Amino acid sequence: MKIEVLRIGQRLVRDDRVTTHVALVSRAFGASKILMYDTNPEIKDTISKVNKMWGSDFKVEIIENWKEVIRSKKKDAFKIVHLTMYGEDINTVQSDLRKEDKVLVVVGAEKVPREVYDIADYNVAVGNQPHSEISALAILLDRILQRRQFQKYPNAEREIIPTKKGKRVMNKTTD
């Protein structure tokens, strides 16, 4: 399954960190790319550094027109999944989502235009209460991929070694 994430909008100052976290979760939880509209381009550099240190070929693309991206992805047989607290319960649709070959997950920042609700193949809610788009994305990706997304990358400079207590990080270039 190919999964990409589209981040629409960004509220100044507050959302640099939130959008960075949306990108980090997208990368760590199995997406291959994030497309960002109206966001700080420095986020691309941050993710590039994370990829270099921890591995992955996760892509960050800054886009000009989110509507065109959605139209293009639909033409390329992607199913559009819009994360919203107003959507269908994830428990109802997660098995259908697992059957899809290509998924574009739309994650909004500020008020998402009505058009996104209408064009989406799935409007999905991870709970029907206000909550973080970061947590909703992580839960959605984990439910779709069923933990298969967690892997070690062969091109990583560092690797975390799980321990019961403390921290252990192996530097693969010197260890």
Q: Residue 122 contacts by C-beta under 8 Å, 6 or more apart in sequence?
A: 79, 80, 81, 82, 87, 88, 93, 96, 97
Q: Which CATH architecture has domain 2-150?
A: 3-Layer(aba) Sandwich (3.40)
Residue 50 DSSP SS3 = helix
Low-confidence residues of the chain: pLDDT under 70 = 9-14, 149, 174-175
pLDDT at 69: 96
Cα 89–chain centre separation = 19
Residue 172 DSSP SS3 = coil
pLDDT at 172: 81
User: What value, to the nearest 5°, has the Cα angle with vertex 168 and ends 162 and 174?
Assistant: 120
Q: Contact 86/129 with Cβ under 8 angstroms?
A: no
Residue 160 DSSP SS3 = strand
Residue from 114, 107, 30, 119 nearest 73 by CA: 119
Per-domain boundaries in the chain: 2-150
Q: Residue 118 contacts by C-beta under 8 Å, 6 or more apart in sequence?
A: none
The DSSP output letter for 155 is T
Q: Residue 175 contacts by C-beta under 8 Å, 6 or more apart in sequence?
A: none
pLDDT at 113: 86
